[in-house]
Amino acid sequence: MEIKHSNFESFVCPLPIKQNERIILSHGSGGRKTKELIDSIFLRYFTNSVLAEGNDFADILIPEKEQKLIISTDAHIVSPIFFPGGDIGRLAVSGTVNDVSMSGGQPKFLSASFILEEGLLLSDLEKIVISMQKTAEEADILIVSGDTKVVEKGKADKIFISTTGIGFAPSNLKIGGQYARPGDTVILTGSIGDHGIAVLAARNELGFSTHIESDVAPLNHLVKSILSATHDIHVLRDPTRGGLATTLNEIALQSNVSIELVEEAILVKNEVKSACEMLGFDPMYIANEGKMIIISPKSKEDIILRILRESALSKDAAVIGRVIPGENHPRVTMHTSIGGIRIVDMLSGELLPRIC
C-alpha cells in the first residue's frame, strides 16, 4: 500500500455520487474523470491492498507450492442488468468463481473489466459494484485488477462486465469434463431453469407475474466441502447457457460416454414449469447460475449427497442419472415420466439471448 490516499484527494468527487449523475465519455479517457470514477466507485468498494497499489497490474505472492494455476474468463451481457435474485455484478462474480471452482480448485483472485455505455446512471454502476464486492466476500475472493472503458450512447447496452478468475488446485487433482466413466453417478444440486425464467420475468416477457428468483450464487464453498470428504470426483460442471441438456451433452462428448437421465429425478419448480409450458420452452435448456452437476463413482454417491443437503444452496440435491458406455456415439437420453425414452440433444439455435 504505497499510495498515500491523500495523493488522490483532489481528484475524488464528492461522495456519495450525485443523484442522476450519468456516465460520460470522459469517464473512459484515462484522465482525471477516469480517476474520479475509479476512486469514487471502484476503489471505494473493491477494497484490498493489492488493488489499492494503483498499478496496471496486480502483484501476488503465490500462496503454496505443488499447486496448479486455474484460469477462467467470462463476458457478461445480461439484460436487464437487475433481475429478481441478482444483477449483472453478482452474475459476473459468481459465473467466474464457478467456472474456476469446476476444476476442483479454489478461486482466489478476480479481474474485472467494464464496458460502460455513455448515459449509464452512476447510481446503477454503484449498485452493481457493491453487489460484486458483496458476492466476492461471500466467495472469499479478492477483486485485484480492473479496467473501465466508455463507449458512446447506442454503442453498447448500459454495462458489460468481463471477469477472469484465478485460483489454485492441488496438482494431483484430476477433475474435468473428460473424466466421466461408465458406471459413474450423475448428481444435480437442485432445481433447473430458475435463472433463465427470472431474467425473462424481469423483461416482462412472461405475460404474467411470478415469484421465481435467479439462483445466481458462488459455488466454491460447496466444491470445497465435497472435496474435503472425497477427491474421487470425475466431473464438476455448472449448467449455465444452454442449460442442463447442453452441458450434459458436452460432458458426454468430452468423455466419449453416454448419459442416461431419469426425468422424475430432475427438479423443476412449479412456476418454472408453468412458465416453460406457456412459452413452449423446455427447462432442460434454460440457464442456471447456481447449480452444479457432479459426476463421481457410484460408491461416493451417499457421502456427496449428505454433504450437499447440508447447504441451503443444494438442499434439493439428487441423483438424476448415470453414465453408460458411449460406444463412440456419445449421447444423452432421458427416461420420461410417462415411461418412454427420448434423446436429449444439445441446444440448437438461440433460446434466450442475453441471459448471462
Residues 225-254 that bind its own copies (CB under 8 A): 237-238, 240-242, 246, 250, 253-254
Q: How far apart are CA 250 and CA 252, in angstroms?
A: 5
Number of residues counted as binding its own copies (CB under 8 A): 95
- List the one residue from 261, 287, 318, 344 that touches its own copies (CB under 8 A): 287
Q: Which is nearer to its own copies, 186 or 318 (CB)?
A: 186
- List the one residue from 256, 274, 311, 333 that touches its own copies (CB under 8 A): 256
User: DSSP assignment of 232-276, as one string?
Assistant: ---EEE---TTHHHHHHHHHHHHHTEEEEEEGGGS---HHHHHHH
Using CB under 8 A as the binding rule, whether residue 112 contacts its own copies is answered as yes
- Residue 330: asked if its preceding bond is cis (omega within 30°), the reply is no
- List the one residue from 12, 13, 25, 303 that touches its own copies (CB under 8 A): 25
- Hey, CA dihedral for 271, 244, 195, 134, is it positive or negative? positive
Burial class (CB in 10 A: 0-12, 13-18, 19+), 115: buried
Q: How far apart are CA 263 and CA 243, in angstroms?
A: 15
- List the one residue from 152, 205, 264, 327 that touches its own copies (CB under 8 A): 152
- List the one residue from 37, 43, 100, 222 that touches its own copies (CB under 8 A): 100
> In whole angstroms, how far apart are CA 80 and each of 33, 163, 320, 348?
27, 18, 32, 24
Q: Per CB under 8 A, which region of 53-61, 80-88, 195-203, 276-284 contacts its own copies? A: 53-61
Using CB under 8 A as the binding rule, whether residue 113 contacts its own copies is answered as yes
Burial class (CB in 10 A: 0-12, 13-18, 19+), 73: middle
Using CB under 8 A as the binding rule, whether residue 48 contacts its own copies is answered as no
- List the one residue from 47, 178, 299, 336 that touches its own copies (CB under 8 A): 178
User: Smallest gap, in angstroms, from Cβ of residue 309 to its own copies?
Assistant: 25
Q: How far apart are CA 35 and CA 58, in angstroms?
A: 17
Q: Rg of the chain over CA atoms, in angstroms?
A: 22
Q: Which is nearer to its own copies, 276 or 318 (CB)?
A: 276
Largest Cα span, the chain: 71
- List the one residue from 102, 122, 244, 286 that touches its own copies (CB under 8 A): 102
Q: Which is nearer to its own copies, 78 or 187 (CB)?
A: 78
Q: Which is nearer to its own copies, 127 or 149 (CB)?
A: 149
Q: Per CB under 8 A, which region of 3-11, 123-131, 226-234, 260-268 contacts its own copies? A: 3-11
Q: Which of residues 188-217 bind its own copies (CB under 8 A)?
A: none
- List the one residue from 22, 39, 48, 73 that touches its own copies (CB under 8 A): 73
- List the one residue from 16, 49, 137, 155 that touches its own copies (CB under 8 A): 155
- List the one residue from 12, 21, 22, 26 that touches its own copies (CB under 8 A): 26
What is the CB neighbour count within 10 angstroms for residue 306? 11
Q: How far apart are CA 74 and CA 95, in angstroms?
A: 7
Q: What angle do CA 122, 123, 127 make, to 5 degrees?
A: 115
Grid coordinates representing 74?
467470462
CA 162 to chain centre: 12
Q: Which is nearer to its own copies, 65 or 211 (CB)?
A: 65
User: Smallest gap, in angstroms, from Cβ of residue 320 to its own copies?
Assistant: 20
